[in-house]
Amino acid sequence: MGEKKWAEVRPREDYFRILNPDGSVEGTVPEVSRQELLRWYEVLVETRTFEAMVLRLQRRGVLSVAASSRGEEASGLGAAAALQVGDWLFPAYRQLSAVLYWNAPVDRIMAGLMGNTPEHIREHLPLPPEVPPGVNILPYPVFLGAYVPLAVGCALADKLNGRKHVSLAFVGEGSTSEGDFHDGLNFAGVLESPCVIIVQNNQWSISVPASRQTAAATFAQKAVAYGLPHERVDGNDIFAVYDTVKKAVDRARAGGGATVIETVTYRILDHNSADASAAYRTEDEAEYWKTLDPVERFEKYLFNQGILDQATKTAMEERAEKRLREEIERGRAVPPTPADNMFLHHLQGEAGWSTQHQRDELACELAGGNPFLDMTGEGMQ
């Protein structure tokens, strides 16, 4: 491991907070039914259970890579819970809680993690005839900053067509250094696009700390340059996230335009299973942020209010374990997508020389040859 570590700068903790780490509250708790609060808790249980299962599968060689949202789950869930049926959700890879809240099929998620294409998954895991109405969930792009202009454009299409839908997009704080982020916010401000952009600040852009990403005091204030309102909340406080995003979503739906919200949290684990954070940071900050765990503090609140008891908690955990294990096995049973399916979606005209050459290279390799030795630029030797 590296001997030199980044010096971490803890962010200011003057953000909006309702639920304290000890489960007590300050200010006003948003109006949410008892049933909905239990639903939130169940989604948090499902999220941690699923991610633990996926990581074990990765360690066994079933998956090539796995990422975790542990310690950040409140940002995704609190924001997604503020949406309505028909809205658009643009999650990245640390918002599993958001897609589980809206009942995304876990078997399809698992099949996707195994590298299958959406078309192939649809063929082998068709949805039941009757699917409850929900939000529209988009797959995430590799370049996460690209989500901002996509969400802004999606929201603008709804606005121009007279639909009262809102688009909600997530990016990390590292994505605010990408041009797409700024292009999208500029359009959102000028065109008053009905969208909400969440900057989930987990303080690490893979191996680069937030203090090396920007000289700005906060990531939320980047919205000022585009004339957009902005908020900064405790990203480990599900009430603060829900309350703030709900107001922004309602404002967008009423024609008030876009809002940028920074949810301050921390990536307590490695970037993903291919990373080793011990090479570039100490565990001091991670240990501190573990004391601010979003699931533990929400659980304390539910216990304190008599909404959750140990028997209900145990039943939820057992139900999640059983359901997720069954759905994961269904996802794993999907046969691998044929490799040459990557060539199915040529957008215009006939495939050119380069595409045909790549097809030939793949065919050579699938036949047991070596495309680097057995082929020339004119095809097979």
What would the pLDDT profile of 6-25 be if each residue is shown by its tens digit?
Answer: 999 999 999 999 999 999 99
Catalytic residue among 124, 280, 319, 357: 280
- CATH superfamily, region 34-333: Thiamin diphosphate (ThDP)-binding fold, Pyr/PP domains (3.40.50.970)
Distances (CA, A) of 135 to 84, 98, 153, 372: 7, 11, 17, 46
Catalytic, 280? Answer yes
Work out the mean pLDDT of the chain and round it to a whole number.
94
Per-residue tokens: 84: 């309505």
Beta partners for 374? none
Catalytic, 319? Answer no
Kindly list the domain boundaries of the chain, sorted by start residue.
34-333, 340-380
Catalytic residue among 267, 281, 297, 301: 267
Strand 208-209 versus strand 204-205 pairing type: antiparallel
Catalytic residue among 124, 251, 253, 271: 271
Catalytic, 93? Answer no
**DSSP calls for 272-312:** STT--GGGT--SHHHHHHHTT-HHHHHHHHHHHTTS--HHH
- For residue 373, what pLDDT is reported? 78
What would the pLDDT profile of 201-225 be if each residue is shown by its tens digit?
Answer: 999 999 999 999 999 999 999 999 9
Task: State how far the Cα of 42 lies from the Cα of 243, in Å rounded to an integer.
Answer: 19
Residue 325: phi, psi to the nearest 5? -60, -40
User: What is this structure's pTM?
Assistant: 0.93
